[in-house]
């Protein structure tokens, strides 16, 4: 597809995981790997396995390209706080 923005969704997953661990150091982060790699589907659990928060699903789902546009770690952490506070 000509002109399509290319990005590495695995790199964005690593950034999201790092930001989640900044907010909750002992958390476990899971990504849905069978899903379309354009859309973020992630869950953050505490060590016993209780879901702390997860990414929104459609119609509010976020694309990895939007994560790539967040350059500062603080921007990623703010996004995760928003997801956490919507729980």
Whether 52 is in a domain gets the answer yes
59 cis-preceded (ω within 30 degrees of 0):
yes
- Enter the tokens of residue 11: 């790199």
Q: Where are the alpha helices (DSSP H) in the chain?
A: 9-23, 64-69, 73-85
Whether 31 is in a domain gets the answer yes
Q: Which residues of the chain have pLDDT under 70?
A: 1-7, 35-36, 87
pTM metric for this prediction: 0.87
Domain that holds residue 45: 9-85
pLDDT at position 3 is 45
Please tell me the total count of domains within the chain: 1
Whether 1 is in a domain gets the answer no
pLDDT at position 2 is 46
Whether 2 is in a domain gets the answer no
């Amino acid at each position: 597809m000509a002109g399509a923005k290319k990005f590495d969704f695995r790199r964005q997953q690593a950034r999201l995981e790092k930001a989640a661990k900044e907010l909750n150091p002992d958390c476990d982060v899971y990504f849905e790997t069978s899903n379309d790699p354009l859309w973020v589907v992630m869950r953050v659990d505490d060590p016993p396995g209780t879901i702390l928060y997860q990414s929104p699903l459609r119609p509010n789902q976020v694309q990895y390209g939007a994560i790539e546009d967040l350059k500062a770690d603080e921007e990623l952490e703010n996004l995760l706080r928003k997801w956490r506070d919507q729980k």
